[in-house]
Amino acid sequence: MIRIDRRRFAGLLAAALTVVAGMAIAQSGATAGASHVKAVFTQMGVPVEGRFTRFDADVDFDPAAPAAARARIVVDTASFELGPGAEEYAAETRRPEWFDVERHPQAVFEASGAKLVAEGRYEFAGRLQMKGRSAEVSGPFTLAQADGGSVFEGEVPISRLAFGIGDGEWRDTSILADEVRVRFRIVVASP
């Protein structure tokens, strides 16, 4: 049996939640090598970062008509990773106390509409479904032209506890903060 330090692991899992929310701005045809979705959380006062490696995004976004935007992002919850040397922690996140990937293999974000805040800056809102629970999430993003396509970048906070991530003894927010920040950079190649 693998023994995992409860305090260290708690922070690692929260990162995964952040990733899901940030994917809300992805577009169909995202360039995999140039795109990323990261989850940043605090464990015992120390920032920790992780990411989901598999997700599908279907987005229809026209900067001239942001209110007509549509997005559906499906994340493989078993694809969460924390980097080299942390494989046992990533494996732990698949357990029922965390993502419960056997019963809930996907997290889904769906949104309709975005709001222009300033030139090249927008805000999105939608519903995130994860681990059998659902909550409204929103956040800012920017749109720019670079790397041969459209680049969407942003960050959104989510509550891990709202989704039952870190159940039981892991609910202790003095060890693992409730807030998880999803940071994303999605590059969509120009046609």
**pTM recorded for the entire structure:** 0.77
Between the CA of residue 183 and those of 41, 95, 128, what are the distances in Å?
A: 11, 24, 15
Q: Tell whether 131 is covered by a domain.
A: yes
Quote the CA–CA distance of 115 and 165 in Å, as a whole number: 30
In this structure, is residue 1 part of a structural domain? Answer: no
The answer to whether residue 46 is domain-embedded is: yes
- Asked if residue 164 is part of any domain, the answer here is yes
Strands (E), the chain: 36-43, 46-52, 55-60, 70-76, 80-81, 106-118, 121-130, 133-146, 149-159, 176-189
Beta sheet of 149-159, edge-to-edge order: 55-60, 70-76, 106-118, 121-130, 133-146, 149-159, 176-189, 36-43, 46-52, 80-81
Average pLDDT over residues 68-85: 87
Q: Identify whether the C-beta of residue 66 lies closer than 8 Å to the C-beta of residue 2.
A: no
What mean pLDDT do residues 35-56 have?
A: 86
Q: What are phi and psi for residue 8, nearest 5 degrees? A: -70, -40
Question: Does 86 fall in a domain?
Answer: yes
Mean pLDDT of 76-92: 87
Is 128 within the bounds of a domain? yes
More confident residue, 58 or 42: 42
Q: Kindly tell me if the per-residue pLDDT of 30 is higher than 80.
A: no
Domain assignment present for residue 179? The answer is: yes
pLDDT band at 112 (very low <50, low <70, confident <90, very high): confident
Q: Is a pLDDT exceeding 90 seen at residue 84?
A: no
Which token pair is 90? Answer: 């990533």
Instruction: Give the mean model confidence (pLDDT) for residues 73-100.
Output: 88
CATH number at residue 116: 2.40.128.110
Q: Please give the Cα distance from 191 to 184 (Å, whole number).
A: 22
Bigger pLDDT: 44 or 7? 44
* pLDDT top residue among 73 and 16: 73
* pLDDT digits 0-9 by tens, 116-168: 999 999 999 999 999 999 999 999 999 888 867 788 888 889 999 999 999 88
Domain range for residue 60?
6-189
Identify the pLDDT of residue 149: 77
* Number of domains forming the structure of the chain: 1
Q: What is the pLDDT of residue 151?
A: 82
Q: What mean pLDDT value characterizes the chain?
A: 80
Strand partners, 43: 46, 176
Task: At 71, list the tokens.
Answer: 């997005």
Res. 33: pLDDT tops 70: no
Give domain status of residue 23, yes or no: yes
| Region of residue 174 (left: phi > 0; alpha: psi -120 to 50; beta: else) | alpha
